[in-house]
């Protein structure tokens, strides 16, 4: 539930540009705080200004509109979330391990950024439509998961049917289900506690039952 803090590097090392970027970062962090406490729809330009210690018109020097703040936060969320998942997958063995590690990292990140996760994955603000640029990281995200499934098939951990859109959608349903129930019912419990989050590994394990590998020549099975 801490705000995304990201030291955005600034192109020219101009002091003014750096100061400006800091203000933008601060606005986005405040916006996330507001959404976490007031709900995603509770974000307002006026409240951002109030907490930043300026008057509402000043915000327009940094963002064109309230929706622009939503969009910038959405884009940043997608990007940081993607990096968290990528790092977790990279630290695990390719295949099922990487898939499980990535999905757990995704859930942990969503639990730490509940409002951002809702904005990204549940679209509770009808008036907000993310720009294509903001959506870009999510395409890469799908690619990561797809590759992990293919690796699992290549390693003999899953049957060939797992290298498919269907398997991808099944995993997204499982993660979405665990996250949805966790965020709605026990948002303040740490990951691994409560009724739902401990069940993620068991759910991912069902992929093995859904796409059983050929029993011959499989690697690393206990």
Q: Which residues of the chain form contacts with a copy of itself (CB under 8 A)?
A: 38-42, 118, 121-127, 165-166, 169-170, 172-178, 180-181, 184, 195-196, 199, 202-203, 206, 209-210
Q: For the chain, how are helix, strand and coil distributed in percent, rounded to 5?
A: 70, 0, 30
Q: Of 89 and 178, which CB lies nearer to a copy of itself in the complex structure?
A: 178
Query: Which member of 10, 26, 51, 56 binds DNA (CB under 7 A)?
Result: 56
C-alpha angle with apex 46: 120 to 185, nearest 5 degrees?
40
Of 172-191, binders to DNA (CB under 7 A) are none
**Binding of DNA by 129 (CB under 7 A):** no
Question: How many Å apart are CA 188 and CA 196, to the nearest integer?
Answer: 13
**Which of a copy of itself, DNA, none does residue 19 bind (CB under 5 to 8 Å by kind)?**
DNA
Residue 107: alpha-carbon gap to chain centroid: 8
SS3 category, 33: helix
Of the candidates 88, 202, 211, 189, the one whose C-alpha atom is nearest the C-alpha of residue 145 is 88
Smallest gap from residue 62 Cβ to DNA (A): 7
**Binding of DNA by 66 (CB under 7 A):** yes
Contacts with DNA, residue ranges (CB under 7 A)? 16, 19-20, 23, 43-47, 53-58, 60-62, 65-67
């Amino acid at each position: 539930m801490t705000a995304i803090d990201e030291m955005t590097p600034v192109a020219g090392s101009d002091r003014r540009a750096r100061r400006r970027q800091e203000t933008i970062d601060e606005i986005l962090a405040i916006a996330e705080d507001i959404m976490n406490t007031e709900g995603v729809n509770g974000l307002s330009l006026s409240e951002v200004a109030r907490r930043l210690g300026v008057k509402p018109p000043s915000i327009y020097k940094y963002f064109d509109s309230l929706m622009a703040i939503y969009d910038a936060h959405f884009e940043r969320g997608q990007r940081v979330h993607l990096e968290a998942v990528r790092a977790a997958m990279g630290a695990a063995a390719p295949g099922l391990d990487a898939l499980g590690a990535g999905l757990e990292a995704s859930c942990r990140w969503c639990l730490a950024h509940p409002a951002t996760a809702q904005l990204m994955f549940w679209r509770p603000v009808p008036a907000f439509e993310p720009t294509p640029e903001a959506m870009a990281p999510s395409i890469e995200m799908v690619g990561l998961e797809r590759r992990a499934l293919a690796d699992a098939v290549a390693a003999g951990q899953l049957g060939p049917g797992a290298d498919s859109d269907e398997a991808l959608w099944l995993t997204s349903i499982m993660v979405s289900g665990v996250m949805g129930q966790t965020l709605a019912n026990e948002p303040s419990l740490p990951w691994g506690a409560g009724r739902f989050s401990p069940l993620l590994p068991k759910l991912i394990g069902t992929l093995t039952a859904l796409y059983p590998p050929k029993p011959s020549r499989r690697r690393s099975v206990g």
